[in-house]
């Protein structure tokens, strides 16, 4: 690990209302988004960072190296679309919205790397770039939704140079909208959080999982900004510990009171009446059924919340809705390497990042990355356009950006 750096994120600064660019829900989202960007202070210097950005001159996708957090803050630039796909696969960047924006910029990056004027050859190349980025991680639908939307835009161009320019403009538009949708989720969801509540969240659905602001954390940050006093429990989220590392880091920077709990502790706390509300993110919500795919362990928490009569919400931008699949069983669930379960990454007292084996040396492991929660366990879906019962997504599909492919 490199030099340890002190980080602090300043409190939100309300900015002028941003112009809405509602890609997935044109006309559906209010046009008075609060813009609540995340600012990071490094060695006394405060700057607004986006989790995903693009360097036009170098044709690089810029990413916060999330595997190093919370111990080191570093921005990397991917040289080409193969490196961009690898960054998604290896979880340099992770979280449905963030990998959606990364895939969008990766598609633009790949398109812009094409040399020559041959339109047919260019389109074949763009098809390869699309597949490479799509295959990087299978469960989140945001990358596919983002790239499909970009391809429709790119069809409007008639020459290679023109299409390359459209691709980059579209990727930027997707990224901007991701941030705007998250801010709107905060405005919609903040009313669910009351003074004195204890809120549980799972994995990281924060600003690191999006371009900015976050989904499950958006209501938390908005309620905090409104001056409400509450407490957040972060599930540690084994095996990769996104709750203990990323969500806890974000909340600490924002000054939101919180504690990390072992994944298995949530049921105990719920039964004791020590959790009042659960808010999670999602990698794919089925628009037809309201089923929610999210980080492994979400289903367990939803069943426990239901059993203990605790409201359970999923917070999503509209790019997380899959209008095509008809059954949760059909959602592709990523199986990851067994080393994630058999050991853990951490930082030694000397600041060196190391992997340690925890499990019995001769044992193997099974590592499904996500699970699917049936609609009956979900109280509501918090979207930029309002809070809906899971079963109401389909009936309200026009408002929620449904488009026929």
Q: Reduce the DSSP state of residue 372 to 3 states and report it.
A: strand
Residue 392: burial class (beta carbons within 10 Å; 0-12, 13-18, 19+): middle
Distance CA 265, CA 402 (A): 38
330 is catalytic: no
Write the DSSP string, 220-234.
Answer: HHHHHHTT---EEEE
What residues does 185 pair with on adjacent strands? none
Question: Where along the sequence are the contacts to ligand MRU (CB under 6 A)?
Answer: 94-97, 140, 203, 205, 209, 215, 242, 281-283, 294-295, 369
Q: What is the 3 state secondary structure string of 322-370?
A: ECCCCCHHHCCCCECCCHHHHEEEEECCCCCEEEEECCCCCCCCCCECE
Distance CA 57, CA 149 (A): 24
Distance CA 76, CA 62 (A): 6
Q: 148-154, long-range: CB within 8 Å, 24+ apart, which pairs?
A: 148/405, 149/23, 149/24, 149/174, 150/104, 150/107, 150/108, 150/174, 151/126, 154/111, 154/126
Q: What is the largest CA-CA distance in the chain?
A: 67
**Nearer CB in complex with ligand MRU: 217/379:** 217
**Nearer CB in complex with ligand MRU: 95/290:** 95
Nearest distance from residue 201's CB to ligand MRU, in Å? 9
Nearest distance from residue 249's CB to ligand MRU, in Å? 14
Nearest distance from residue 43's CB to ligand MRU, in Å? 28
Nearest distance from residue 387's CB to ligand MRU, in Å? 17
**Nearer CB in complex with ligand MRU: 59/215:** 215
Which member of 178, 263, 283, 371 is catalytic?
A: 283
**Nearer CB in complex with ligand MRU: 153/301:** 301
Strand duo 258-261 + 231-235: pairing: parallel
**Residue number with the shortest CB distance to ligand MRU?**
281
**Nearer CB in complex with ligand MRU: 236/283:** 283
Distance CA 340, CA 352 (A): 18
Residue 306: burial class (beta carbons within 10 Å; 0-12, 13-18, 19+): middle
**Nearer CB in complex with ligand MRU: 176/283:** 283
Nearest distance from residue 242's CB to ligand MRU, in Å? 5
Residues forming the active site: 283
């Amino acid at each position: 690990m490199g030099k340890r750096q002190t980080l602090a994120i300043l409190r939100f600064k309300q900015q002028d209302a941003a112009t809405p660019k509602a890609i997935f829900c044109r006309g559906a989202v209010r046009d008075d988004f609060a813009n609540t960007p995340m600012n990071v202070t490094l060695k006394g210097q405060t700057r607004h960072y986006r989790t995903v950005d693009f360097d036009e001159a170098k044709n690089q996708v810029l990413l916060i190296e999330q595997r190093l957090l919370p111990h080191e803050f570093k921005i990397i630039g991917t040289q080409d679309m193969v490196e961009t796909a690898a960054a998604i696969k290896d979880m340099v960047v992770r979280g449905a919205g963030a990998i959606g924006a990364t895939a969008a910029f990766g598609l633009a990056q790949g398109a812009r790397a094409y040399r020559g004027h041959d339109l047919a050859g260019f389109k074949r190349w763009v098809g390869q770039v699309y597949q490479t980025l799509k295959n990087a991680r299978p469960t989140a639908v945001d990358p596919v939704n983002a790239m499909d939307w970009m391809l429709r835009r790119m069809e409007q161009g008639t020459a290679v140079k023109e299409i390359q320019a459209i691709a980059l403009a579209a990727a930027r538009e997707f990224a901007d909208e991701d941030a705007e949708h998250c801010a709107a989720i905060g405005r919609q969801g903040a009313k669910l959080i009351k003074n004195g509540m204890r809120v549980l969240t799972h994995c990281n659905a924060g600003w690191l999982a999006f371009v900015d602001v976050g989904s499950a954390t958006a209501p938390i940050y908005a309620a905090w900004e409104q001056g409400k006093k509450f407490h957040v429990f972060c599930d540690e989220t084994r095996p990769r510990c996104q709750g203990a590392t990323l969500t806890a880091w974000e909340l600490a920077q924002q000054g939101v009171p919180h504690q990390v709990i072992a994944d298995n502790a949530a049921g105990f706390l719920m039964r004791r009446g020590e959790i009042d509300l659960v808010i999670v993110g999602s990698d794919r919500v089925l628009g037809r059924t309201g089923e929610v795919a999210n980080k492994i362990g979400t289903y367990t928490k939803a069943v426990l919340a239901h059993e203990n009569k605790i409201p359970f919400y999923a917070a999503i931008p509209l790019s997380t809705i899959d209008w095509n699949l008809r059954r949760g069983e059909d959602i592709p669930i990523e199986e990851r390497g067994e080393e994630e379960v058999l050991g853990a990454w951490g930082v030694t007292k000397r600041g060196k990042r190391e992997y340690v084996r925890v499990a019995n040396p001769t044992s193997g492991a099974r590592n499904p990355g996500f699970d699917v929660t049936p609609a009956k366990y979900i109280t509501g879906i918090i979207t930029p356009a309002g809070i809906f019962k899971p079963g109401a997504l389909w009936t309200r599909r026009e408002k929620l950006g449904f488009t026929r492919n």
